[in-house]
A and B are shown apart, each in its own frame.
Chain A
Amino acid sequence: MSDALSEAIPVLLVAAPILAATLPLVFGLRFDRAGWLFTTLTTSSLFVATVVLATVVYSEGTVIHQLGGYPRAYGIELVADRLSTTIALLVTGTSAGVLAYTRLGGPRGNTFYSGYLLLVGGLLGLTFTGDVFNMFVFLEITGLATYALIASGDGPESAVAGLKYLIVGTVGASLYLLGVGLLFMATGTLNMIELAEAIPQAQGGYENTLVRAAFAFVFVGFAIKVAQWPVHAWQPDAYQHAPDGVTPLVAALVSTVSAYALARVMYTVFTVDFLTQTPYAREIVITVGAVSVVAGSTLAVIQRDVKRMLAYSSVSQFGLVVAAYGLVTETALVGAVIHLVGHGIMKAGLFIAAGVIALGYGARTVDEYAGLAARRPVVAGGMAVLLIALIGIPPSVGFVGKWYIALGAVQAEVWSVAAVIFLSTMLTLAYSARLLEKMYFTPANWLEDPHAPDADVVATDGGSGPGLTRQSDRARPDAVSIGMLSIVVVAAVLAVALGFSGDLFYDWLEPFVSEVFN
């Protein structure tokens, strides 16, 4: 493939979804269901384009595009290397897959699909950008689209959750911006590759107070965006109250891409030398991650609502990733990236399954899942496989990620992280097993099951309050489509199949990782 064409792909990937976001609105004036069609066409073509880009990156190395032809010193670059392409594949693949649920599962309306495409564009921009200020802009585009999508739920709760996320998320992005400002003061550049060279040359090198303060601000900003304990409080509300069609997308991608951006800034901008030479930098990152792992999974165990439980589980899984960043070994970094991808696929599948169950069965709490396996064998089976993968039982992608991170912890001789990984597996087992036990071994009790579709209660509780009506109204078995079930199955199959591809992942990421560590 010619250079000019392959260089254009990253630009297309960022610009196309943002431009296409206008189409559902325009065509929506004439056709009611235009949004889904355009979004599906756009996201599937984006996925194909990303696959093409991945083959180019594989055969010819990193693809760099300078926007408008301006040189690196003051222009903006889009960089597609092995790491960003991996994340782009996850973003485009998941965003195309989730549409199989939203076609019938909602939220309906063309404005929703405009927001959907804006979010995809923002995420891809965040993935490919090679400029730290541009990263802030895409962080905010992603954020704005996410706030709007979360608030698009029927109930008033979703607006409150959206506003909470907006306020906290803005503080996170603003702190990141402050860090960028301090870096600019110290070095006078905003390009990531130039920053990596300019930081050691700044006055005092890595000991420069501005550089150290910048790292602190950037890390705290991203910790908020990735939802690390104790600044995770926005996340469970947002995931729980978002519409069922939005949660899989947000849970699988938004925090994942923020976590990727943190890795990018830590390893490409500040570099391994900064992390190892700055006292307490690694220790703080590891501590934040490890505490999030324990706090997140402990809180997940005590939740009643399934979506909320899965949300707290995300806090702990991202804690694992952040702790792996702090280990600063090649193996742990590869493990973190595998876990990012694996967690994205598993959480997308789990949240879609939770949506399908709420739609066809009316069950939202752990107790209401009783006896699910007998009546909804396909979706219960998919969910069970994904939960087992999340625990990290081989063969599954959850196991591969955790294995590499644990290996990295042993190599770095940070035994506390190895212990935390073991503990987190136990706690993940605790909350997953609770759900598995309800689905497979607790018989459904009709009298204690007010939201069941054919219980008598349903007919009478029509106007008893927004929470109750919503649940029982949604219990329509015929609303579950083949597309929804197949996407759950695809996610489960992927979670298992990728469990065999640990070596593949390692070989694919090896050039990037060895470049970062040398």
Chain B
Amino acid sequence: MIEYLDTHYTYVLAFVLLAIGLYMMIANENLVKKVIGVNLFQTAIFLFFVSVAYVEGGDAPIVPAETNPGELLVASPLPHVIVLTAIVVGVALTAVALALIVRIYAEYGTLREDTLREVRADE
């Protein structure tokens, strides 16, 4: 168990972050903090992907032109590319979420979900 934690602690860390993000989404009443929770949730998955790609003793997957590529030990580049794409998706998502929050704040004058529920119940 200790040995596993020693070599795979990044996995544990990623899933702890994932749980914190999920908890923030559910338990926090502030809408902006909910979106931060979503970001944390996604970032945890990105970290997981990056640590999956890690090869012990491997370099960054940038292959120099002169050496024989087969002899180099590099980390797997595919998960990195995937994470890069997913980060872009995440940024777009955060932008849309914040735009919606700006509109909600302009209409209701609050960012808290519990206040929002009261305001909407009154209408």
**Chain A residues at the B interface, C-beta cutoff of 8 Å:** 74, 133, 136-137, 140, 143-144, 147-148, 151, 156-157, 159-160, 162-163, 166-167, 170-171, 174, 177-178, 181, 184-185, 190, 465-467
Contacts and interface: CB of A to CB of B under 8 A. Distances in A.
A354 to B, nearest CB: 22
- Most-contacted residue by chain B among A151, A174, A178, A465 (CB, 10 A): A174
Nearest to A189: B78
Interface string B24-62: 010000010011001001100100110010000000000
7 contacts: A133-B85, A143-B93, A147-B96, A156-B104, A171-B22, A177-B86, A465-B123
A160 B34 CA distance: 13
Given A160-B116, A171-B22, A133 B82 contact: yes
B30 to A, nearest CB: 12
**A interface, over-half SS:** helix
Given A163-B101, A166-B100, A181-B49, A174 B107 contact: no
A218 to B, nearest CB: 13
A49 to B, nearest CB: 27
Contact of A144 (B49, B79, B96, B101): B96
A163 B104 contact: yes
Nearest to A134: B85
A183 to B, nearest CB: 11
Given A171-B25, A174-B42, A148 B48 contact: no
Contacts of B35: 167
Interface of B: 22, 25, 31, 34-35, 38, 41-42, 45, 48-49, 52, 78-79, 82, 85-86, 89, 92-93, 96-97, 100-101, 103-104, 107-108, 116, 120, 123
B103 A181 contact: no
A185 B85 CA distance: 18
A185 B38 contact: no
Given A136-B86, A185-B52, A177 B45 contact: yes
Contacts of B89: 137, 140
A184 B42 contact: no
Contacts of A465: 123
A137 B82 CA distance: 10
Contacts of A190: 78
Contact of A157 (B82, B97, B120): B120
A140 B100 CA distance: 17
A144 B93 contact: yes
A174 B83 CA distance: 12
Closest 6 CB pairs of A and B: A156-B107, A159-B103, A163-B100, A140-B89, A159-B104, A159-B100
Contact of B38 (A133, A140, A156, A170): A170
Contacts of B108: 156
Nearest to B76: A188
B97 A171 contact: no
Given A136-B86, A177-B86, A466-B123, A166 B49 contact: no
A184 B103 CA distance: 39
A170 B42 contact: yes
Contact of A467 (B78, B100, B103, B123): B123
A19 B75 CA distance: 35
Contacts of B25: 167, 171
B26 to A, nearest CB: 10
Contacts of B116: 160
Given A143-B93, A160-B120, A184-B79, 17 more contacts: A144-B93, A148-B96, A156-B103, A157-B120, A160-B116, A162-B100, A167-B25, A167-B34, A167-B35, A171-B41, A174-B41, A174-B42, A177-B45, A181-B48, A181-B49, A466-B123, A467-B123
A361 to B, nearest CB: 23
Contact of B45 (A160, A167, A178, A185): A178
A42 B103 CA distance: 31
A169 to B, nearest CB: 9
A316 B96 CA distance: 30
A330 B49 CA distance: 36
A160 B93 CA distance: 15
Contacts of B93: 140, 143-144, 166, 170
